[in-house]
Chains A and B, each alone.
Chain A
Amino acid sequence: EAGVAQSPRYKIIEKRQSVAFWCNPISGHATLYWYQQILGQGPKLLIQFQNNGVVDDSQLPKDRFSAERLKGVDSTLKIQPAKLEDSAVYLCASSLNYREGGSYEQYFGPGTRLTVT
């Protein structure tokens, strides 16, 4: 089974530039997550999709960040304009839908390391 794919793996941009990240989840996984991981911290959720609808984007800085999941499969996360504090690893994860009484597991991609100079 192929894992979660992300690209690019690394990106260096100057502040005020824009950048986009791409994620392809595991086939059949309805739920997709974008997490931001700043150095030395645990990942923090930015946005959660179920199919192509947004479940939770309460922690997404909407003045500069946007995300979409067209057709309920691939997703893109965009930052425009970037700030120095956006330097982080951006992780994409996917999971099956929640099942009552069952367990679920999130599968993570390798991440995109963004450096804003």
Chain B
Amino acid sequence: KQEVTQIPAALSVPEGENLVLNCSFTDSAIYNLQWFRQDPGKGLTSLLLIQSSQREQTSGRLNASLDKSSGRSTLYIAASQPGDSATYLCALPSQEISSGSARQLTFGSGTQLTVLP
């Protein structure tokens, strides 16, 4: 059974700092890995999806890397801004439940990021 861990649980940084969020998983036989953002009282917004064959994926100031062999992914945020304050979650699809069906996601507990002005 896949287990996903995110450290730290909370992080506070001054505006403009570059930062790294960590995600580790126990089963390296993964299909892909997603990073989500969750604002207070809101649903989840997908930020980046990395396929198992990829090493990294970039979107604007965000860069996600994947190292399957070590069971790790990192989300790098460059030049952080107060608007980046949110909870960041990583998630991996489960093993296929039945042929042709999409896969449920297993989530980490998230890292709550606060960027101070």
Contact = CB atoms under 8 A, between A and B. Distances in A.
Interface of A: 4, 6, 30-31, 33, 40-45, 48, 50, 55-56, 91, 93, 95-98, 103-111, 113
Contacts of A96: 102
Interface string B56-75: 00000000000000000000
Given A91-B43, A110-B42, A111-B43, A97 B100 contact: yes
Contact of B109 (A42, A50, A93, A106): A42
B34 A105 contact: yes
B51 to A, nearest CB: 6
B98 to A, nearest CB: 6
Nearest to B4: A42
Nearest to B36: A108
28 contacts: A4-B43, A6-B43, A30-B102, A31-B101, A42-B107, A42-B109, A42-B110, A43-B44, A43-B105, A45-B104, A45-B105, A48-B102, A50-B101, A50-B102, A55-B98, A55-B101, A56-B97, A91-B44, A93-B44, A95-B102, A97-B102, A103-B49, A107-B46, A108-B45, A110-B42, A110-B43, A111-B42, A113-B41
A107 B44 CA distance: 8
Interface residues of B, number: 27
Given A55-B97, A98-B100, A103-B32, 12 more contacts: A33-B104, A41-B109, A43-B44, A43-B89, A43-B107, A45-B105, A91-B43, A96-B102, A98-B102, A103-B49, A105-B34, A111-B43
A70 B64 CA distance: 38
Contacts of A98: 96, 100-103
B42 A42 contact: no
B13 to A, nearest CB: 20
Interface in B1-51: 4, 32, 34, 36, 41-46, 49, 51
Contacts of B49: 103, 105
Nearest to A91: B43
A108 B39 CA distance: 13
A26 to B, nearest CB: 13
Nearest to A48: B104
